[in-house]
């Protein structure tokens, strides 16, 4: 369990908690499977976890001011970033299921992964009317989902004075904005 704090957020929203866990099962060590001569490795794995994102300006939740002079040559301060004390962590939850197989004394290695990644409370700059004096305000709005598959094949074709290895990787990803006002 991870706890992160950031002064970029409001007083009550500074800390985020991001747990994760994983488990694996090496089924190659099970009775009936370990005697298969052609299968040299076998593992099934699962993981889940959360991460946080704080990629906003240093004083976005409090607002910023710029010192300078106006068109009449008067010195002063003017606001440049609209404050938003309710900003909080953008959070991503990810789930992963994987399979690893080794064949012929691990000369051929295959792995497959399926994942689901959901991001919520996106940190997004929302445009504002120019009459407000600001271009935008940063808010937590929207959600994104990524689903995908990854496949990897590694082979050791020749070993000796001349070595030949092959690596093939194929990935599929679907990205979808699930909420954006």
For 135-153, write each residue's pLDDT tens digit.
888 999 999 999 999 999 9
Q: How many Cα neighbours within 13 Å face the side chain of 78? A: 10
Which structure tokens are listed for 92? 């991503």
Instruction: Give the range among 71-80, 110-119, 154-163 with minimum mean pLDDT.
Output: 71-80
How many H helices and E strands in the chain?
0, 12
Q: What is the pTM of this model?
A: 0.81
- CA end-to-end distance (rounded Å), the chain: 32
| pLDDT at residue number 57 | 80
Q: Compute, in degrees rounded to 10, the torsion defined by CA atoms 137, 140, 141, 144.
A: 130
d(CA 106, CA 31): 20
């Amino acid at each position: 369990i991870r706890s992160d704090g950031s002064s970029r957020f409001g007083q009550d929203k500074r800390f985020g908690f991001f747990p994760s866990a994983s488990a694996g099962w090496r089924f190659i060590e099970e009775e009936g499977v370990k005697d298969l001569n052609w299968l040299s490795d076998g593992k099934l794995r699962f993981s889940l976890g959360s991460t946080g994102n704080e990629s906003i300006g240093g004083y976005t939740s409090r607002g910023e001011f710029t010192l300078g002079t106006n068109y009449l040559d008067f010195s002063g301060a003017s606001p440049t970033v609209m404050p938003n004390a309710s900003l909080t962590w953008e959070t991503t939850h990810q789930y992963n299921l994987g399979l690893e197989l080794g064949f012929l004394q691990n000369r051929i290695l295959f792995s497959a992964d399926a994942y689901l990644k959901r991001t919520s409370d996106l940190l997004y700059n929302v445009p504002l009317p120019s009459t407000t004096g600001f271009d935008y305000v940063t808010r937590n709005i929207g959600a994104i989902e990524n689903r995908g598959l990854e496949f990897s094949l590694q082979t050791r074709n020749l070993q000796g004075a001349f070595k030949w290895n092959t690596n093939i990787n194929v990935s599929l990803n679907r990205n979808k904005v699930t909420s954006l006002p």
